[in-house]
Every structure is written in structure tokens, then in C-alpha cells.
Amino acid sequence: MISLLDFREKIKDLYQRYDLYIKIFAKFIFAFFVFVTIKEEIGFDPRLNKLIIILALSIISSIMPSSIVVLLAMLVSVLNVFYISNILSVLILLIVLILYFLFARYTPKYGYLLLLVPLLFTFNVAYLVPILLGVIATPITIIPTSCGIIIYYLLKVVKNAVNIQTNIGVEDVLQLYTYVIDKLINNKHLIMTIVIFAMITIITYYIRRMKFDYSHEISIVAGGLTCLFGFLISDLTLDVSDQIFGMILGTVISMVIVLIFNFFNFTLDYSGKEYVQFEDDSYYYYVKAVPKLMISAPEKNVKIFIDRVRDDSTDDIDESLNDNKEDDFNDIDDKLRNIYLDDEDDE
């Protein structure tokens, strides 16, 4: 445990020292994966799929706020759809703008969730988002999380809608729009995912806020169990049992990731908890104080070992010093002898 705490302090010290560069690099990697995912899912325009374009967009995103990054990703998505179907791109633009303004109105600082949720779904670890938000945020984050889920399922619908659009004319625009809207509104798996993610965030949040020991760790486990049982019931009800194993594996990995994050971010030493009571003019307070688990930096003792190497030059120096000392002693002896003889002559 001591070694883990020491490692944690080194990582935190490294982050505090280079936090600006680490944030820029992390935003670059995140944006790069987002644009690569857009390319893989709806990369219809070959001009936007070039590596140099993706790198340029990622570099721009690394120095921009989250709202601008979301707009860039939405713009690239709409342009890809426009390359195949300008009719369908108008509908996609309207949907993403509604989602964007919904998130910008209530949770502007959680803009990355609109892109993070679809990205993590491709890696089957999106379940960590509601658990993590329950630990570090509030239930208001359900809004951007739900928008991210809708965007993920919208990308799936767009693929099929593009194939359908190749065989219909302009007069069937309403039929195409109806198809996209119906696939989103009547998608039971989409609705169940939004509901279960909201339940995970709420349960994790309220258990984390309770006052018993290890509430953070227990809330993470409770959120993971809610995810397991919720999606297990949903998958069996909707007859998509082929996704159960991937869901279980993804949930376990998500729980481990959140536990590791919690260890670096918030670890308490419950063995040192104290209960404090005090009062003011209006209230009498009962306070439970739990110290954070910290480790002091080890003291370094430096020992200097001097190897005295004697060579011919040092021997010569020592001999000359000894000779000089003998000459000095002889001079002093002669002076004392002369003084003594002078005193005898005076007498």
C-alpha cells in the first residue's frame, strides 16, 4: 500500500508540474479518436478522411474549449452526410443542433460527454461514464450523457438511411425523414439505455453522498451492479442476448477504471476519523472529519565518501610542506636561543 501511495504522489506531482501540456496532449488524443471514429462510422467524404485533415482538426481541438470541439465534430459529421445526401444532411444538422443547444443551455462545461459517450460505445466501455459522473458530478450530467447516447444511435441510423436514399427521389423526402425520426423515437434499446444510464448516475451519486465509511467505493460497486442488472433485464426483454457477455465484461472494466480514478483522486484514511462538536450563535454542529490518505515524501540522506588517492605529485607537496615546517621550527629555535644569550650578557 505504501508503494502504491508513493506512486500516486509521484503521478500527482508530475501532473501538477506539467498540467498544461498534459491537458493539451490529452485533448489532442481524444479529438483524434473522435474524428477517426466519425471516419469509420460515416466517413463518406474521402476529402475529410485524409490523415492530414484529421491531424489538423485534432491539433485545433487541443487548444479549443469543449464547445468548439463539439461543433467541429458535428460539422465534420454533417459534411460527410452532405457528400452522399444533402437532403439527409439537413435533418442531421437540425437534430445535432437541438442536442447541442440543449447541452449548452444546462451543462456547458460537460461538452465532451456528447463525444465521449459515442466514442466509448465503440470500445464497449461507455458504462464507466454514468458511474464516474455519479462519483465526481451531479445528476444534471444526465442531460449531456443522454445527448451522447442519441448521437451514437443517430450514427447507426444514418448508415441505413443513406443506403435507402440512393433509391428514392426528391418527392420522397418526407418518407426519408420519417424513417430517421421513427428509428430514433421507436428505438427501445435507445430509450432503455438512457433510462439505465440515468439510474446508474443517480444511485451512484446518492450513495456517494451518504455518511458511512467507504461510501465512494461502495457507490462505484452499486453503480456497476445497477448497470449489470439493468442491461441484463433490458437485453433479455428486447431479445438481444448476444450482447450480454460484452455488457458484463465492459461493466467490470468500467468499474475497475473508476476505482483506479477514485484512488488517485479521492482516498480517505478512515482509521484516523474524528468527531468534532462546536457551536455558534445560531447552531450546534456535529462534524465528522476523515483525513485524506497521504504519504510524506521520504527523506534523503546523502553520504559523501572521499577516496584519498596519493600519487607522486601529492607526495612531493607533502614533503615540501614538511620541509617548510622544519625550517620554521629551526628559525624559531634560533631566535629563542639568541634571546637567551642576550639576557645572560646583560646580567
What's residue 327's pLDDT?
55
pLDDT of res. 62: 92
pLDDT confidence of residue 333: 56
Residues in the chain predicted with pLDDT less than 70, given as ranges, are 1, 104, 163-173, 268-272, 293-347
CA separation, residue 302 to residues 10, 25, 196, 299, 305 (Å): 21, 37, 58, 10, 10
Give residue 339's pLDDT. 56
* Distance separating alpha carbons of residues 288 and 143, to the nearest angstrom: 33
Question: Which pLDDT score, from 0 to 100, does residue 307 have?
Answer: 53
User: Which of 227, 264, 333 is closest to 15 using CA atoms?
Assistant: 264
pLDDT value of residue 174? 73
Contact yes or no for 247/232 (Cβ under 8 A): yes
Nearest CA to 270 out of 212, 207, 208 is that of 212
The per-residue pLDDT for 88 is 81
Q: Answer whether 38's CB lies under 8 Å from 70's CB.
A: no
Q: What is the pLDDT of residue 341?
A: 53
What integer pLDDT is reported at residue 171 of this predicted model?
Answer: 57
- Note whether 193 and 149 are within 8 A (CB): yes
The pLDDT value given to residue 323: 55
